[in-house]
Amino acid sequence: MRYALILIVLILASFAPVASAEGAVCIVESYEVNPSVFMTNDLGTIRFTIKNTAPAGTGMSAEIERVDLFGNGIEILTNGLMHVGEIGPQDTIDFTFKIQAKRPEGTYYPKLLVEFGNGKTIRYTVPIEVENTAVEVTASSIPDDMRIGETSEIKLTIANRRANTIHGIKIHLASSGATSAPSSHFISSIEPNGVEEISFNITPSTDTEAFLFETSYKNGENYHEGDLKVQVDLKEGVLNRIILTGIEFDSNSRGHAIAGEINNAGEEDLEGVMIAFDETSEVIPVLPYKSYFIGSIEKDDFASFELNFKINEDETANATEIIIPLLIEYRDLDGDRYQTVEEVVFDLGQRQNPEDKSIPSWLFAVVIVLVLAVVGMAIGYSWKR
Amino acid sequence: MNPLTDPDGFFSEKMEQDTNLKSPALIVLVVGVIAAVNAYIIAGMVMEAIAPTLPPEAAGFAKIGSIFGAVAALFITFIMWAIYTGIFFVISAILGGEGDFKRLLAFVGYGFIPTIFGSIITTGLTYYGMSGIEFSMENPELMQQSIMADPMMQLVSIIGIIFLLWTANICIFAVKHARGLNTKNSLITVGIPIGIYILYQAVMLILMM
> Within a domain: residue A51?
yes
Residue A105 belongs to domain with CATH number: 2.60.40.10
A216 shares a domain with A142 = yes
State the DSSP H helix or E strand holding residue B73, giving kind and residue range, or none if neither: helix B59-94
Contacts of B162 in chain A (CB under 8 A): 368, 371-372, 375
Choice between B67 and B141, residue whose per-residue pLDDT is larger: B67
pLDDT exceeds 50 at position B107: yes
Local confidence band at B150 (pLDDT 50, 70, 90 cut-offs): confident
Is the distance from CB of A84 to CB of A65 less than 8 angstroms?
Answer: yes
Residues A99 and A162 reside in one and the same domain: no
| Within-domain flag for A366 | no
Domain count, chain A: 3
Q: How many helices (H) and strands (E) does chain A have?
A: 2, 30
pLDDT at B207: 76
B90: Cβ contacts below 8 Å, ≥ 6 apart: none
Q: Find the domain containing A204 and state its range.
A: 136-235
pLDDT on residue A237: 53
pLDDT at B28 over 90: yes
Is residue B81 within 8 A of residue B27, CB to CB? The reply is no
Task: List chain A residues with CB under 8 Å of B158.
Answer: 368
* Residues A204 and A292 occupy one common structural domain: no
Is A7 in the same domain as A83? yes
Helix (H, G, I), strand (E, B) or coil at A225: strand
Let me know if residue A359 belongs to a domain: no
CB of A308 within 8 Å of a chain B CB? The answer is yes
Taking residue A7's Cβ as centre, other Cβ atoms within 10 Å add up to: 10
Q: Taking an 8 Å Cβ-Cβ cutoff, which residues of chain B contact chain A?
A: 4-9, 114, 121, 132-136, 138, 142-143, 145-146, 149-152, 155, 158-159, 162-163, 165-166, 169-170, 173
In contact, A205 and A220? CB cutoff 8 Å = no
Task: Specify the DSSP class assigned to residue B105.
Answer: H
Mean of the per-residue pLDDT values for chain A?
83
Q: Tell me what pLDDT residue A290 has.
A: 80
**Looking at residue A194, what is its pLDDT?**
93
Do A202 and A292 share a domain, yes or no? no
How far apart CA A152 and CA A144 sit, in angstroms, is: 10
pLDDT tens column, B152-193: 778 888 899 999 999 999 999 999 999 999 999 999 999 999
CB A307, CB A288: distance < 8 Å: no
**Higher pLDDT pick, B18 / A45:** A45
Mean pLDDT value across chain B:
84
The residue-averaged pLDDT of B114-123 equals 90
Q: What is the pLDDT of residue B141?
A: 60
Kindly state the average pLDDT of the residues A330-340: 79
pTM of the predicted model as reported, rounded to 2 decimal places? 0.46
- pLDDT band, very low/low/confident/very high, at A17 (cuts 50, 70, 90): very low
Distance in angstroms (rounded) separating the CA atoms of residues B107 and A192? 76
- My answer on whether A85 and A165 are in the same domain is no
With respect to residue A252, please indicate whether it lies within any of the assigned structural domains: yes
Residue A39 · residue A132 · CB < 8 Å: yes
Residue A371 located in a structural domain:
no
Q: Is the pLDDT of residue B131 over 50?
A: yes
State mean pLDDT over A132-143.
88
Q: How close is the nearest chain B Cα to the Cα of A324, in Å?
A: 21
Domain boundary among A79, A104, A130: A130
CA distance linking residue B3 with residue B11, whole number of Å: 8
Average pLDDT over residues A261-272: 83
Whole-number percent of chain B with pLDDT over 70: 82
Minimal CA separation from A384 to chain B, in Å: 9
- C-alpha distance from A285 to closest chain B C-alpha (Å): 13
